Amino acid sequence: MQFGILVNEGPYSHQASDSAYLFARTALEKGYKVPRIFFYHDGVYNASRLATPPQDDRNVGARWSKLAADYGVDLVVCVAAAQRRGITDGVLGDNFRISGLGQLVEMGIQYDRLVTFGD
Amino acid sequence: MSDMDEMDDGSGIVKKFMFLNRKAPHGTVYALEGLEVVLITAAFDQDVSMVFTDDGVYQLLKGIDTKGIEVKDFSKTYRALDGYDIEKLYVDQASMDARGLTEDDLIVDVTVLSVDEMANLMAEQDVVISF
């Protein structure tokens, strides 16, 4: 079973990104495949390495980067949504990349399930 | 005919994609950015349906004027959808009724569905993306 995951909300102000992370990590731990996670709308803010949350809280961006490093997940940030919000290659966290919406459509075509996290 | 280059993921697979539009056109960015995904999906030659429900029915309202709120008016894009071979447009009867709207209030031709019909249509889809 291959899951594609779509994250539509930014970190901290909304639970969507936390839920998406927990879903993805659990699926991977249980042996399912999550080849790619796509970040859209304010979800692109998950990719910023400029965020410095308090040390006693989770670091959402770093957590995504580690998940990608541990399991080889492709973290893709929508270029159009990113450009609107000032997310550029220069501020991307480790293992994130910027690409087009075609990468999202491909997940829908190729994977067994596409799971959306957002409002 | 589409003016966007045909795209291909190489698999030749055609899936049924439903885009569920639930939010008013302005106030949040979901309708505008959602529309971009719809157009790209059509460019991948997929079987695209759009559903407008809840406040999403306002996206198709005639006479939208965004001058006063100083945001982009993307209302015209809905009229251009058939140019992208997107012709399956559905609205939810109950959402229209609750807002005092009829098909005459909308800028494009749509099929009005009951909740049961909508549920059946949704069950037929491979991928449902909600904005």
**Domain encompassing residue A51:** 2-117
Q: Are B54 and B73 in contact (CB under 8 A)?
A: no
Among A8, A41, A105, beta carbon nearest to B44: A105
Q: Which of A78, A87, A104, A115 is catalytic?
A: A78
Total of domains in chain A = 1
Token reading at A51: 């965020």
Q: Which helix (H) or strand (E) holds B16?
A: strand B16-21
Query: Residues B100-115: pLDDT tens digits?
Result: 999 999 999 999 999 9
**Domain encompassing residue B57:** 16-65+75-130
A104 neighbourhood in chain B, CB within 8 Å: 37, 40
Question: Does some domain include residue B8?
Answer: no
Q: What is the pLDDT of residue B1?
A: 39
Amino acid, res. B9: D
CATH code assigned at A113: 3.40.1260.10
Question: Does some domain include residue B47?
Answer: yes
Query: Residues B63-75: pLDDT tens digits?
Result: 999 999 999 999 9
Q: How far apart are CA A101 and CA A92, in angstroms?
A: 18
Q: Do A102 and B29 touch (CB under 8 A)?
A: no
Whether the CB of B49 is below 8 Å from some CB of chain A: the reply is: no
- Taking the CA atoms of A19, A5, A114 and B115 in sequence, report the sign of the dihedral they define: positive
Q: What is the pLDDT of residue B8?
A: 72
* Mean pLDDT of the region A34-63: 97
Q: How far apart are CA B109 and CA B118, in angstroms?
A: 17
CATH code assigned at B53: 3.40.1260.10
Mean pLDDT score across all residues of chain A: 97
The ipTM, to two decimals, is 0.93
Query: Residues B22-68: pLDDT tens digits?
Result: 999 999 999 999 999 999 999 999 999 999 999 999 999 999 999 99
Among A6, A100, A108, beta carbon nearest to B17: A108
Q: Determine the residue among A7, A105, A116, A119 to mutate to test chain B binding: the one whose Cβ has the most chain B Cβ atoms within 10 Å.
A: A105
Alpha-carbon dihedral B21, B34, B68, B83, rounded to 10 degrees:
-90
Whether the CB of B125 is below 8 Å from some CB of chain A: the reply is: no
Residue with tokens 């807002």: B99
